[in-house]
Amino acid sequence: METRRSYQVLARKIEELILRKYEIGDRLPGERDLAKKYKVSRPTVREAVVSLELAGLVHVRTNSGTYVANSMPQASDDPGAPPFEILRARMILEPEVAALAAEHHIQADLEKMEAATEQMRLEHIQNAPTEKGDRLFHCAVAKASANTVLMELIEVLWSTQQKSRMWLRADEYGRTKEIRPLWVEDHLAVLSAIKERDPKAARAAMTDHLRHIWQILLDAGSK
């Protein structure tokens, strides 16, 4: 059974594999192959690869694979919370927050969500490396829930996410011109359900959005 922070154990095993078998410039086995070899999940492999990339040992080339970049890992600051650990926490909280927002929002909340969505759209058009509009949207949804504890929890989650070097690096894999407009569509679906005061639809739309992020982080850059 996988344990918490199991990506760190796997990263060490991959590091040992590199030292035994691979030279700088060599391509490592694909993430699915590594998951099968070490009997772990693909999210664990992705987090291990991101941590090794931050340490300078490997380099991920989008739609190509993972390549050895150095023979020894470099000293690295705390990489922060693992991406899929962050997403698991968000998937527990945010769908229910959206459902509450559908029940309790006021017009001012909708206006903040609309402004945040427009900011996201502009950021994506400009290909800006920022999640500001995204964060504003989710925090506006939390405020619309009329639950101050949930508001604080969502703020903590987003602060943790944006301080995580692992999250920021993994997010870069999926921040493409093809994918980014889909994020706006996801947020518009959440906003529409909240406007309609439909808790079930809001919960489903937020769940779909987070599942899309999960799949994007899992697939982007992997071969």
**Pick from 8, 17, 88: nearest CA to 48:** 8
List CB contacts of 201: < 8 A, sequence separation 6 or more. Answer: 102, 192, 193
Structure tokens of 154?
Answer: 């969502």
CATH class given for the domain over 6-68: mainly alpha
Which pLDDT score is estimated for 99? 98
Mean pLDDT of the chain: 88
Structure tokens of 57?
Answer: 């040992």
Same fold, 6-68 and 83-219: no
Q: How far apart are CA 190 and CA 206, in angstroms?
A: 6
Which pLDDT score is estimated for 108? 98
List the chain domain ranges: 6-68, 83-219
- Residue-by-residue pLDDT tens, the chain, 223 positions: 344 478 888 988 998 888 889 899 999 999 899 999 999 999 999 888 888 888 888 888 877 889 998 866 665 567 788 888 899 999 999 999 999 999 999 999 999 999 999 999 998 888 777 789 999 999 999 999 999 999 999 999 999 998 888 888 887 776 777 777 888 999 999 999 999 999 999 999 999 999 999 888 887 655 5
Q: Which helix (H) or strand (E) segment is 88 a member of?
A: helix 83-104
Q: How far apart are CA 157 and CA 91, in angstroms?
A: 11
Q: Which helix (H) or strand (E) segment is 141 a member of?
A: helix 132-144
Q: How far apart are CA 10 and CA 28, in angstroms?
A: 14
Which pLDDT score is estimated for 3? 44
Which pLDDT score is estimated for 2? 45
CATH class given for the domain over 83-219: mainly alpha
